[in-house]
Amino acid sequence: MAVPEKSTKERLMSFLDDLEVLSRELIEMLALSRNQKLSQPGEENQILELLIQKDGEFQELMKVALSQGKIHQEMQVLEKEVEKRDSDIQQLQKQLKEAEHILATAVYQAKEKLKSIDKARKGAISSEELIKYAHRISASNAVCAPLTWVPGDPRRPYPTDLEMRSGLLGQMSNLPTNGVNGHLPGDALAAGRLPDVLAPQYPWQSNDMSMNMLPPNHSNEFLMESLGPNKENEEDVEVMSTDSSSSSSDSD
């Protein structure tokens, strides 16, 4: 315990050095005293006592070293256990991260759904209003030709060139609403009623026009009929798209 910070190995080695030196000194001293017939029993006894003391301490320390060996084994077992626990914790952490990822995705999707539900609730539109809007669209013959339509009639079942230009898409691409080159004659005719079509307060919104144009019970039938002539509509749309592209290229 003289040098407590030294390792047991260092202390054992130092004891061994001391024991070797003391035993050598004792043997040399005895040999010398025997040859020279000198007797200094006091010094010999001192060395012998020191040797016995050091030998005893060495044995005690060896016991400590052996117990340290056993503790070392226990420590190795504990280290293995710590490693095992570490791998367990890492595995658990991995699983928790996966769970977190799945939960985060689920929460995000749920929030999105809640947002859309909230949005839908805030912007709730009554069916009556929807029907009104449908009337407004159909009144301009934008989706279906009138029942009395004949070739040459300027009213069309699709937006005219001028209507397209006045719309949101037209405004986004900064297409001029006036002075269109190469527009169809029908567009010119339609232009006359265009302000009425785009006006927020369309005359039929007061139900006067809708009553005149369509009987209340006829609206569904009318919509169903509009789905009927699909081929014609498709063809018309194609013609319209070529028209608009040619006109837009002309305007450019």
Partner 1 sequence: MATGGNVRPAEEPEEEEEEDEAAEEEEEEEYTFLPLVHDIIKCMDKDSQDVYQELNELKSKFQAMRKLVGNMPGIDLSPEEQQRHLQSLREQVQTKNELLQKYKSLCMFEIPKE
Neighbouring C-beta atoms of residue 72, cutoff 10 Å: 10
Q: What is the CA radius of gyration of the chain?
A: 53
Selected binder of partner 1 within 30, 107, 211, 227 (CB under 8 A)? 30
Exposed, middle or buried: residue 83 (CB in 10 Å: 0-12, 13-18, 19+)?
exposed
State whether residue 13 is helix, strand or coil: helix
71 is an interface residue for partner 1 by CB under 8 A: yes
Report the residue number, 11 or 165, with the smaller CB distance to partner 1. 11
Q: Are the beta carbons of 247 and 177 closer than 8 angstroms?
A: no
The two three-digit tokens of residue 27, written as one number: 């043997």
53 is an interface residue for partner 1 by CB under 8 A: no
Report the residue number, 62 or 120, with the smaller CB distance to partner 1. 62
199 is an interface residue for partner 1 by CB under 8 A: no
Report the residue number, 12 or 209, with the smaller CB distance to partner 1. 12
Nearest Cα residue to 183 out of 252, 245, 243:
243
Site string for partner 1, 87-126 (x = CB under 8 A): -xx--x--xx-xx--x------------------------
Report the residue number, 48 or 131, with the smaller CB distance to partner 1. 48
Quote the least distance from Cβ 217 to partner 1, whole Å. 54
Quote the least distance from Cβ 231 to partner 1, whole Å. 46
214 is an interface residue for partner 1 by CB under 8 A: no
Neighbouring C-beta atoms of residue 251, cutoff 10 Å: 14
Stretch that binds partner 1, among 78-86, 172-180, 188-196, 237-245 (CB under 8 A): 78-86
Quote the least distance from Cβ 30 to partner 1, whole Å. 6
50 is an interface residue for partner 1 by CB under 8 A: no
State whether residue 155 is helix, strand or coil: coil
Quote the least distance from Cβ 98 to partner 1, whole Å. 5
137 is an interface residue for partner 1 by CB under 8 A: no
DSSP string for residues in 30-97: HHHHHHHT---HHHHHHHHHHHHHHHHHHHHHHHHHHHHHHHHHHHHHHHHHHHHHHHHHHHHHHHHH
Report the residue number, 84 or 119, with the smaller CB distance to partner 1. 84
Work out whether the CA dihedral 178, 179, 184, 188 comes out positive or negative.
Answer: positive
CA distance 252 to 247: 9
Positions in the binding site for partner 1 (CB under 8 A): 4-9, 12-13, 16, 19-20, 23, 26-27, 30-31, 34, 51-52, 55, 58-59, 62-75, 78-79, 81-82, 85-86, 88-89, 92, 95-96, 98-99, 102
